Amino acid sequence: MGYTTEQVPNPFFGVAGAGQFATQQNIARGQLLRPFPQFGDVNMMQSTGAKSFYNAAIVQVRRRSTGIWGGNFSYTFSRLNDNQFGQNNYYSTSPGLQNNYTVIPGSDYYNPDQEYGRSLLDSPHKVVLAPTFNLPFGAGKAHFTSGLAGALLGGISITPVVTFQSGFPIGVSQNVPGQSFLFGGTLRPNLVEGQDILAAGDITERIRANTTDNLYLNRAAFQAVPINRFGNAPRVLPGVYSPWRNNMDLSVSKNVRTGASTSASIRLEVLNVLNTVQWAAPTSGAFGIATFAQITNQANNMRMIQLTVRFGF
């Protein structure tokens, strides 16, 4: 049994105002070391003590879809820093706070700025390319201006939407039997110097070749922190991001002349046309759990096709 979990005589035994501790003859030593030992967990509700800072540079080029083609291109380069706790992204749960009193202001030791750094919501790169191609067929165009070919091919526009977006930072915690000495905090492991944090090889290619080869993080890069010690792993792992979130959708639309003041359009939309996989969070983000860093689920949908017909009058 660790020093902080060792049972010692309870000075609050028989004190009615001590609540949950009033009827316990013994109490964990670690509870007596907390700033307010007569209480259990002391929680702040709707705290505004955190701060965030976001910077971004955006480049965007647009061309009106006239004639043969048009479209849009944009690139965003950004950085989001904060010291918020409890947040997560779809790839990483919150690693929590090793010292659950870190958020108490006014003390050098309980300083919330200790947690300030890259946010779990940071995604530094995003590229969106969405060109539109108007086929040169049908009335008023260069080819097949009449006849059956003109009727079938005229009024068709094709728009692929290609997105490349970097992943999110990753945070880890630790769950080892006998190591829960923090009384409300979340333990983090130690990082092993000289070890790459990411597992070698492309995660998608490895899973395609062997579904059991699904570790995203290199377990050898982590080491269980000794009992009654804090781990040195930061809130987010240095230089580590989840896999890129790439995707391509496709839209094909056709305008149909129906005469007078009526019109019709047919639209075929294909989502995730290339069947690109976006992986979900590992089964466990806690070092010490058997499924730590294992990828077993997909976050996005596979290819989806939908057809819509619209008639206006």
**The residue to which tokens 């316990």 are assigned:** 24
Question: 227 and 190 in contact (C-beta within 8 Å)?
Answer: no
For 150, phi then psi, to 5°, come to -65, -40
pLDDT of residue 244: 92
Mean pLDDT is lowest, of 15-19, 94-98, 181-185, 280-284, for 181-185
**Using alpha carbons only, how large is the chain's radius of gyration in Å?**
28
The sign of the CA dihedral 139, 144, 147, 151 is negative
Of 169, 242, 253, 176, which Cα lies nearest the Cα of 204? 242
Structure tokens at 7: 């049972």
Distance of CA 32 to the CA centre of its chain: 38
The residue type at 143:
H
Structure tokens at 308: 């819509």
pLDDT in tens, 218-258: 999 999 988 778 889 988 999 999 999 999 999 999 888 77
Structure tokens at 110: 């309980």
Kindly report the number of other CB atoms within 10 A of residue 228's CB atom: 13
SS3 211: coil
Of 36, 39, 125, which Cα lies nearest the Cα of 76? 125
pLDDT in tens, 293-311: 999 999 899 999 999 998 8
pLDDT in tens, 87-141: 778 777 777 777 655 555 555 555 667 778 899 999 999 999 999 999 888 776 7
